[in-house]
Chains A and B, each alone.
Chain A
Amino acid sequence: MKEYRLKLPLTKEIIDNLRIGDVLYLTGNLYTARDAAHKRIENTIAEGGELPIDFKGKTIFYAGPCPTKPGRNMGSIAPTTSARMDQYVEMTFKLGMLSMIGKGDRANYVSDLCKKYGGVYLLSIGGASAMISEQVKSCEVIAYDDLGTESIKKLFVEDLRVIVGIDINGDVFQNREILKYKKN
């Protein structure tokens, strides 16, 4: 298990050297977007409109938090099931996104896309939402406020722990690991 402490945004150079199973502690800005925000971005592109954020080099976090309790920096937050965003991966790669954080397996074509665009899929821990909220130091709604939990938010995280799930070679962490323990 290799461990790295990295600053966001992750540069192309850093991403090229990441391999599945590496554990990263990320510090810097992330942007949340899930189903509804992706859908709106897709519609905006189709209509030739202007996007509310520039995806270049950004890390997208598939997450929709709880409201923030007074006295805390952030409501409970953790990744949602990434597979629902599979259909938008090529779109966001084309817009310049280089890394995405979520949970769970993805369609096979997502690893092909990581290879093609030189991007990575990072795994955070689904349901560890109270602990992960501790890693978020600030949160600001950037776009689509009307979507509530599904709006695009800029988060500043400190030492957010993630595991490389798909690397630029298109290798898939879960496929490798599950084979080690599979008995039937």
Chain B
Amino acid sequence: MKRIINTEDVIPIISGLVQKACYELSDNVLDAYKDALKKEESPYSRDTLKLLIDNAEFAKKEQIACCHDTGTTVIMMEIGQEISWSGKPLIDQINEGVRIGYRDGYLRKSIVKDPLDRINTNDNTPAVVHTEVVEGDKVKITAMPKGGGSENMGSFTTMVPGEGIEGVKKFVLDTVRFAGGKTCPPIIVGVGIGGTMDYCTYMAKKALLRPIGEHNSKPLYAKLEEELLEEINNLGIGTLGMGGTVTALGVHINYFPCHITALPVAVNLQCHASRHATAEI
């Protein structure tokens, strides 16, 4: 049996999700801040972490943006294969949801129409939309406002297979070291390994949605996540780059089979304002 959904239904859902994501950091993120505060040795970073905790609580209470950079709106949709859509084009309705959410939510409009002539669209559209078709008759929508400071410091490379785990580690560490305080640490480090150039970066972004504290189910990758986290924290970058013992809250790796000639690696960095909200229809 097909389930028919009118595309119009996604408008209020998306406008609500972008606002919720921008106003309310999840308990998972807040707990990670608090945990970082216990481990942090630098007085400057400790003071700043305390401020970030207060900031998150205040933004939630006042229902205002916790960070002013309310980002590029990344929308991820998992669409059940039993779904059939009616109504206007889905992409237009998603953007309408973003438009309304940003306008009514007093969120910053940060998108320019053309990367070279740089005129602001003034409504934060278009969103970057990823869709996956999955089993079932439900639609899962995740809104992930992604700020520029951290997004701009991500990186991608294709290594030769022989570079292996050590090569991957070096690339991730170099990326984080180079990003320094620009990404608003403490960060979450999303890593994609394998696939193709496009799929690898997508995996790295999706990895950022994983709750902090959860590891890849495959022991090889879980171990790599732990080792990388320790080495990143040994870089000494600290909160906002002010020096300290906590630079990252987590390292999340996703992997995918790849070509015999290739070892693609993508790193997508997530600043402390790790914002995403999900709903299901």
| Chain A residues close to B by CB (< 8 Å) | 1, 21, 36, 63-69, 72, 75-78, 80-81, 83, 103-105, 123, 125-131, 133-134, 147-150, 163, 173-174, 176-184
21 residue pairs from A and B, CB less than 8 Å apart: A36-B118, A67-B108, A69-B62, A75-B108, A81-B148, A105-B182, A125-B51, A126-B149, A127-B272, A128-B48, A129-B65, A129-B68, A130-B55, A163-B44, A174-B181, A174-B243, A177-B243, A178-B241, A179-B243, A181-B236, A183-B234
> A residues within 8 A CB of B68?
63-66, 75-78, 129
> A residues within 8 A CB of B67?
76, 78, 126-127, 129
Contact of A181 with B182 in the complex, beta carbons under 8 Å: no
Given contacts A76-B67, A125-B51, A180-B243, 6 further A-B pairs with CB under 8 A are: A78-B67, A105-B182, A127-B67, A130-B62, A178-B235, A181-B238
Contact of B66 with A130 in the complex, beta carbons under 8 Å: yes
Given contacts A125-B51, A127-B55, contact A80 B69 (CB under 8 A): yes
Contact of A181 with B245 in the complex, beta carbons under 8 Å: yes
Shortest distance from the beta carbon of A63 to any chain B beta carbon, whole Å: 7
Given contacts A76-B64, A76-B65, A78-B68, contact A184 B234 (CB under 8 A): yes
Contact of A133 with B64 in the complex, beta carbons under 8 Å: yes
The closest CB in chain A to the CB of B63 belongs to A69
Q: Summarize B's interface: helix, strand, loop or mixed.
A: loop
The closest CB in chain A to the CB of B59 belongs to A130
> B residues within 8 A CB of A178?
235-238, 241, 243
Shortest distance from the beta carbon of A134 to any chain B beta carbon, whole Å: 8
Contact of B106 with A67 in the complex, beta carbons under 8 Å: yes
| Chain B residues close to A by CB (< 8 Å) | 41-44, 48, 51-52, 54-56, 58-59, 62-70, 106-110, 118, 120, 122, 147-149, 152, 180-182, 184, 231, 234-238, 240-245, 271-273
> A residues within 8 A CB of B65?
66, 75-76, 129-130
Shortest distance from the beta carbon of A121 to any chain B beta carbon, whole Å: 12
How far is A150 from B69 in the complex, measured between Cα atoms in Å? 12
Contact of B66 with A80 in the complex, beta carbons under 8 Å: no
Shortest distance from the beta carbon of B112 to any chain A beta carbon, whole Å: 9
Given contacts A76-B67, A174-B180, contact A130 B149 (CB under 8 A): no
Contact of A177 with B242 in the complex, beta carbons under 8 Å: yes
The closest CB in chain A to the CB of B232 belongs to A184
Q: Can you list the 10 inter-chain pairs with the closest CB atoms, starting with the nearest?
A: A177-B243, A182-B236, A181-B236, A130-B59, A183-B234, A129-B68, A76-B65, A104-B182, A127-B67, A126-B184
> A residues within 8 A CB of B52?
125, 127-128
Contact of B243 with A181 in the complex, beta carbons under 8 Å: yes
Contact of A104 with B273 in the complex, beta carbons under 8 Å: no
How far is A76 from B244 in the complex, measured between Cα atoms in Å? 27
Contact of B55 with A128 in the complex, beta carbons under 8 Å: yes
How far is A72 from B61 in the complex, measured between Cα atoms in Å? 13
Interface hub of A65, A104, A147 (most chain B Cβ within 10 A): A104
> B residues within 8 A CB of A183?
234, 236
Contact of A68 with B106 in the complex, beta carbons under 8 Å: yes
How far is A72 from B271 in the complex, measured between Cα atoms in Å? 26
Contact for B106 among A21, A75, A83, A125, CB less than 8 A? A75
Contact of B273 with A177 in the complex, beta carbons under 8 Å: no
Shortest distance from the beta carbon of A23 to any chain B beta carbon, whole Å: 8
How far is A82 from B92 in the complex, measured between Cα atoms in Å? 35
Shortest distance from the beta carbon of A164 to any chain B beta carbon, whole Å: 11
